[in-house]
Structure 1
Amino acid sequence: MSNKNIEKRGRVHYNYYRFEVIVLVFKIINLLFAPIVKLLRMIRTKLLLKMIIVYSLLTVIPLTLVTGISYLNSQKIIEKKIADSANRTLIETVDKIEGILQVMEKVLDDLANDQVVKTLLKNDYDKITYPMTEARRHETESTLKETLNLQLSGDSIEEAFINSIYIFNNTEKYYTTETNGKVQYYDALKVLPYDKEGRPQWAFFMDNSQIICSIEIIDNVTGKLGFIAIMLNPDKVRQLYAGYPENTFYVTNDFNLILSASNLEEVGSLFTDYSKPETILNRRVSKDTGFIYISMVSTEDLNKEIKGLAYFSSTITLITWFVVLLLTILILKHITNPLRRLSRLMRKAEKEHFELIQGVKTEDEVGQLCHSYNRLITEFQYLIQEVYKMEVLNKEAELKLIKMQINPHFLYNTLETISALSVSDAGKESIPQITQLMAKIFRFSITPGGDYVPMETEIEFANAYLQLQKFRFKERLSWKIDLPDEFKRVKIPKLILQPIIENAVIHGIRHSSIKGMIILRVYDMDYDLMIEVEDNGPGFDNEGQSGGLGTGLHNVDSRIRLLYGETYGISILKSDENGTVVLLRMPIQMNGELISNENHDSR
């Protein structure tokens, strides 16, 4: 048994048991309160009395609305105050972090301009122009390591944030302290884009979960000598926002990559909690570093100050509402059920799913309304069937008329071609071949087997027609067919392409003073099938308008619109070379099933 049937049976049992409880309550009331029972019988036949009782019992609703609105307004006020406080706290925290980062930038800038660093890197860059003895180089490297160790072991608060320092030359060699390991993403550091030359740049990625700041080392003579990268201590950075609860403060880049978080496992992942429910999110973007600082405040924390008042007001309101609800259910049960059922069935009727309302036993205004609805639905179903039958007959007649116009129109133009060729000896020799092509074409057009054929079959028919016209126009006519394999088995209406190609030949190639070219393309757009027939003729003066369609194109356009609706049909456009493009749009049909954009996105 399907879940839908189980759910339906559960609702039936639930409604049945609830009805039994209500009946039992009514029996007790009838035994104990005879006057009330007599009043209920009167209410059963008068909708006005029912509504008077309902309105009398619903006086508690204004009280509920007032309480609810007061609660919501108070909640918004408290939320705004706490949100403003959270925003101020975020600003203070960001300023503290940014202050540390600015100090890091100054450390980088000092190192980049240090003469020891530049001397060593110049020697790496060009040992001939900037020579150094082995002893001096060893001494310079030792001095550099002492400088780096001093930066890492300093007692200042700013220096404690530096985890490691790397100085790279242009040949991937680097200088650092002995305690530092290998850089994880050297290639990324090497191609790091710098906004300003000689200015520190904060990386949009991390290295071993460390935030990175880098600066190019520039010499006025030699140019770029290398770059310096500082890795920040992740634990020290987290201490800057240790006052925030866990998982409520994040530092990210423009790509939402988490650079720092209280939970180390989240570092390196994407921040995706922008739409997290029951959370107020504060966001601040640094203009200097490009980092994004995010703090999150739970709405549960915001509501603590008003929950006491809310609980008291809600308790009083709920008790009053429960008493009123119990009395309302007992009285309005037999009123609301038919009305709800009637409303549900009317919504179904709007979607052309018609059902009669059953089980209505009351004789009051509601019962009369339900019976009138049943009569209306019965008559409406009858009228729909009659109108549907008439529309089907009319469409079938129109389609037959259009298809009857296609073959005589094509035959007339073909006989005219034969007549034109018969005046020359070469043409007379070609007439038997033309006759064979005509026989092939007419066999296809009169062969039974349905109104739809595969695309490749229709293309073969169109190709035969073009071969037929080749005898008339000779070298003035050439064509190209672009038919991807995935469209070869798509079903299209039979004899739908020949009138379009004939139009390109008669109105395009025949009037062209240059070598004619016809291109047939098949592709899809927005889940619809698109067929283009382009020629390099003189073009149309009245393109794109229905008045500009000839008999053949008009027949094809009418046929498509009758089969698939007014959304589809023929459009006429100018090509890039002042020729004409006839664009045919229809749904994609595979094995008798339409696959159009209506199945994916309602128009």
Structure 2
Amino acid sequence: MEKVKKEKSIIGQINDMSHKMVLMLVMPIFLSLVLMLVYAGKYSMAISRMETIASLKPIVAEEIPETAWNIISGRDTIEKSKIYGRLHIVDEVIDEVTGKTGQENRLSLIVAGRTMKTLEKYVDQIRDNINAEVPVVENEAVLEEIREVSSLVDSMLNDYIAAEIASTGRMSGTLKGVIIATAILEAVIVIAALWIRNRSMKKTAAFVRTPIENLEKVAASLAEGTLDARIRATEVTELRNLTTQVNTMADRLETMMKKSVEDERNLRKAELRTLQAQINPHFLYNTLDAIVWKAEAEDKDEVISLTSALSDFFRISLSSGADWIPISQEKKHIEGYLKIQQTRYRDILRYEIDIPDEIGNYYILKLLLQPLVENAIYHGIKSKRGGGTIKVSVRLDGEDLVFSVKDDGAGMTPYQMDQLKERMKKSQPNSVSESSGGFGLVNVNLRIRLYYNQPNGLNIESDSSGTEVSFRVPCRTREGILENESISG
């Protein structure tokens, strides 16, 4: 038993590739950004610690010895000088910075903090001497000790700042190395991403091209008359419905070819359906060829648009076996067909569709307009230098619907008009070959006369300015034909 492959979407394939590419390119950038932010934070904190310690130097080296001299000389008192407040501020700041400093640089601050305790003891000694009213000479000796200790603490603070500068320099070098390494890694990843992108694009192209080529082969087989040709199930989501519709079309074609008819009227209907269906494989073959070309050009949007339009085209063509469909469906069918043809003949084909929504619920025999539009393209627009415009319109006239397909193409000569009218008088659909021209017009003319049971089918007017093909049929509602005919909602 054949293993069923997991269904995949064309857009999903492309999105997966895009997400992988983005992830590969963003990760090193994100990593380098995080590292730079971390090192920048460390650098900022180091600068902040150095600024804080530097702010203590004037207090230790100048303010404390000067305040001690003012106390000894009698210019100030212990209480008013607030010398202990200065000592405590220096102690607290040193303790705080020591807690934020790494092990390699905190030794100088620890020793400085302990030395500040010695400095405080000398201040205590001056206070005690003053209270004991000892000679000033003894306090002057203590003052010299204070100056020496203050100078020592100042030197320790300088050592700490120097160590922090050296550490910051090493940090800067490390950051530079990280940036260089990240840049190299980014370059390597970009190269790898480009390589992966090329492989993924080739894989995606093959992923789309292979099932389309299978569709093209089956369509070619159907065009050649091999009605037992079928398409294998595809894993491409966008082609699943199209594959199903084509296989269904082939099944119906084969069924209709084998079906026997009981009377001449049913025989003519079967023959007309066969002729009608023979148009589709040729159209499918050419359209799939265009889709393959778009896929090879990696134009995914156009591939998806054409594939969807083609799927809608065949879905309405089949209409679940119904002969009658709403005008709104016929309109959608024509829009899909013209959209596909405009893609193939972009520079020469323009079109307009004027079908009011209020008549969309009336029913008509399906596939009356498409052969007329096809005839206008191949025998009118393509034959005119510079291309032209096709206008499809429907209007309500009393109890009738009037349909018109008009082009400003090359038109027909009087001789060609006479030949076409002569062929349209034939009662057998197989009396006109596709290569003889007017095949679609004759087919539609016969179907209108047969299904609507009226003597006249198409009305054709043509000159050098273009051709207009029109027909008039009675309005039909769903309820009016439900009892005797199969219809499509």
Output the TM-score relative to the length of structure 1. 0.31
User: Of the two, which has the highest radius of gyration?
Assistant: 2
Counting strand residues as a fraction of each chain, which structure ranks higher?
1
More contact order relative to length (CA 8 Å, sep ≥ 6): 2
